[in-house]
Structure 1
Amino acid sequence: MTMAGLRTIIALSFVLAIGFLLVILSSALWQNYLPLLVVATYVVAPIPNWLCGRAATSDDFGAESHGVVDFGRWLTGFLVVMGMALPAMFAHCALISYPAMVMSITGGLLIYGTIITFTMFFQEDPDF
């Protein structure tokens, strides 16, 4: 592993830890654990994109079926938006406070951003 790869992993783990810390603090500071649902949506969000990307088929002429890939991207986008909208809805319904909403959304975006950045940096290119 190169030194740049090690630095990238350390930086990404630091940002991921800050994201989880923000989400946990948004729950613990106000004694309301509903913002922890954001963690579930951001952890599950990349899975449809990964599964549908693997399920995409190509025929003998090189044409790929993009319908499955598009569905996976749509479902991932839905889960990411739900991760931001859920704390906003909870704050609007007065189930959580507005500072908890801001901390939860910020932490969730850091978590998802770290997952996306990790997959971009460490994606293997197919060798032909």
Structure 2
Amino acid sequence: MNSTASFKGNPLNKIIGLSIVLSMGFLLVVLAGIYGNWFPIINGIIFAVAHVPVVISKAVSENGDYDFNFDPSVASSGNAIKEFGSFLSAFLVVTGFYLPVLLHHSRILTTTATILTIIGGMLIYGTVYAFSSYFVEEDSEEDDLTTI
């Protein structure tokens, strides 16, 4: 019973599981491309890079130790950058979701290719999101006090 608890809590197993889900998502997108035409590959790329604006905006707007603005009524510019990154990411996700629907409506993609593209894209985006949230380091005040 102890071995199953350690198996589920092992971080390497989580990474391997996420890699398998990511490869299944890309497989579905490639199969949709083979089934119809190669437009689903573009959609897979859109889903793969959809979370990148959020990651970049969080890295750019990190205040760190140099933000000495203690007035809550004054908004910092970091919030605007984070909001723009979230907006751009949401725009890419919505575009990736509705592009196959538009291509199906235009009779460029078949119904099967549309379904495969949407499911594969959701798997790709979900895995990229899970990877990025898994590797985010949470800074706590207890860690800072113990290192002093």
TM-score (norm 1): 0.90
Residue type of the partner of 1:33?
A: W
Unaligned 5+ segments in structure 2 are 1-5
Whether 2:65 is the aligned partner of 1:66: answer: no
User: Could you give the per-residue CA deviations for residues 13-48 of structure 1, whole angstroms, max 9, x where no partner exists?
Assistant: 110111011000001123x11111112111221111
Q: Is 1:9 the equivalent of 2:22?
A: no
Match of 1:54 in 2: 59
Matched, 1:124 2:137: yes
Q: Tell whether 2:109 aligns with 1:87.
A: no
TM-score, normalised with respect to structure 2: 0.78
Aligned equivalents of 2:49 and 2:39: distance in 1? 17
Matched residue, 2:124: 111
Aligned partner (choices 22, 26, 30) of residue 20 of structure 1: 26
Identity of aligned residues (%): 34
Amino acid at match of 2:51: P
Partner of 2:112: 99
Number of aligned positions between the proteins? 126
Distance 1:57 1:16, change over 3 A: closer
Equivalent position amino acid for 1:38 in 2: N
Larger Rg computed on CA atoms: 2
Please, which runs of 5 or more residues in structure 1 have no aligned partner? none
